[in-house]
Chains A and B, each alone.
Chain A
Amino acid sequence: MSAEQAVIVGGGPAGLAAALELRRRGIDPLVLDREAEAGGIPRHCGHQGFGIRDLHRAMSGPRYARRYVELARAAGVRIRSESMVTGWRADGALEVTSPRGLEVLSPAAVVLATGCRERPRSARLVPGSRPQGVMTTGMLQQLVFLHGQKPGTRALIVGAEHVSFSAILTLAHAGTEVVGMVTELPRHQSLAVFRLGTRFRYRTPLWTRTVVAAIHGSPHVEEVELADVVTGRTRRVSCDTVVFTADWIPDHELAVTAGLDLDPGTLGPAVDTCLRTSRVGVFAAGNVLHAAETADVAALSGRHVAVSAARFLADGVWPSPRVPIVCEPPLGWIVPNVLSPEPARPPRHRFLLRSRSFLDGPEIQIVQDARSLWTGRLRRSIPGRSARLPDSWTRSFDPGGEAIRVGVVRA
Chain B
Amino acid sequence: MVGAAIARELSRFELRCTLFEAGADVGAGTSKANTALLHTGFDSKPGTLESRLVRRGYELLLDHAGRVGIPVERTGALLVAWTEEQLRSFPGIVDRSYANGYTEIREITIEELYRAEPHLGPGGLGALEIPDEFIICPFTTTLAFATEAVLAGCELRRRTRVEAVERLDGDGFRVHISGGEVTTRFLVNAAGLHSDDIDRMLAHDRFRVTPRRGELIVFDKLSRPLLHHVLLAVPTATTKGVLVAPTVYGNVILGPTAEDIEAKDDTSSTRDGLAYLQAEGERIMPELLGHEVTAVYVGLRAATEHDDYQLTVASEGYACVGGIRSTGLSASMAIAEHVRDGLAEAGLPLQPKRDLPMVRMPNIGEASSRPHALPEMIADDPDYGRIVCFCERVTRGEIRDAFTSPIPPSDLDGLRRRTRALMGRCQGFFCGAHVEALLADALLADATSGKPHLAARRS
Contact = CB atoms under 8 A, between A and B. Distances in A.
B378 A99 contact: yes
Interface string A245-266: 0000101010011000000000
Given A123-B293, A132-B412, A214-B268, A142 B433 contact: yes
B301 interface: no
A127 B269 contact: yes
Nearest to A34: B390
Interface in A65-113: 82, 84, 86, 97-102
Contacts of B310: none
B215 to A, nearest CB: 9
A125 B268 contact: no
A100 B296 contact: no
B433 A139 contact: yes
Interface in A120-139: 120-123, 125, 127-130, 132, 135-136, 138-139
Nearest to A82: B386
Given A84-B390, A102-B378, A122 B432 contact: no
Interface of B: 217-218, 222, 265, 267-271, 273-274, 292-298, 372-373, 375, 378-379, 382-383, 385-387, 390, 393, 412, 425-430, 432-434, 436-437
Contact of A122 (B293, B375, B387): B293
A97 B385 contact: yes
Contacts of B297: 130
A127 B271 contact: yes
Nearest to A140: B433
B426 A120 contact: yes
7 contacts: A100-B378, A120-B428, A125-B296, A127-B268, A129-B267, A130-B298, A147-B437
Nearest to A100: B385
The 8 A-B residue pairs whose C-beta atoms are closest, nearest first, are: A120-B427, A142-B433, A99-B382, A139-B432, A138-B429, A99-B385, A143-B433, A117-B429
A38 to B, nearest CB: 14
Nearest to A123: B293
- Do most interface residues of chain B lie in helix, strand or loop, or is the interface mixed? mixed
Contact of B267 (A130, A132, A257): A130
Most B CB within 10 A of own CB, among A127, A253, A257 = A127
Contacts of B387: 34, 82, 84, 86, 97
Contacts of B436: 143, 147, 149
B459 to A, nearest CB: 18
- Do most interface residues of chain A lie in helix, strand or loop, or is the interface mixed? mixed
A97 B429 contact: no
Contacts of A100: 378, 382, 385
A403 to B, nearest CB: 20
Contacts of A147: 433-434, 436-437
Given A99-B382, A149-B433, 5 more contacts: A98-B386, A120-B428, A129-B267, A135-B432, A147-B433
A146 interface: yes
A167 B378 CA distance: 38
Contact of B426 (A101, A117, A149, A257): A117
Nearest to A120: B427
Contacts of A127: 268-271, 273-274, 296
A63 interface: no
A101 B378 contact: yes
Contacts of A257: 222
B267 A139 contact: no
Contact of B295 (A86, A98, A122): A122
B412 A128 contact: no
A128 B292 CA distance: 19
A147 B385 CA distance: 23
B292 A249 contact: yes
A251 B294 CA distance: 13
Nearest to B427: A120
Contact of B373 (A97, A130, A136): A97
Given A86-B393, A122-B293, A123-B294, A98 B433 contact: no
A97 B382 CA distance: 10
A119 interface: yes
A216 interface: yes
Nearest to B411: A219
A373 interface: no
Given A101-B378, A102-B378, A127-B270, A122 B429 contact: no
A185 interface: no
A118 to B, nearest CB: 6
Nearest to B393: A86
Nearest to B374: A102
B449 to A, nearest CB: 22
B110 to A, nearest CB: 30
A136 B427 CA distance: 9
A98 B385 contact: yes
Most B CB within 10 A of own CB, among A101, A118, A139 = A139
B429 A102 contact: no
B292 A214 contact: no
Interface in A218-265: 218, 249, 251, 253, 256-257
Nearest to B437: A147
A253 B222 contact: yes
Contacts of B372: 84, 86, 97
Contacts of A34: 387, 390
A213 interface: yes
B191 to A, nearest CB: 19
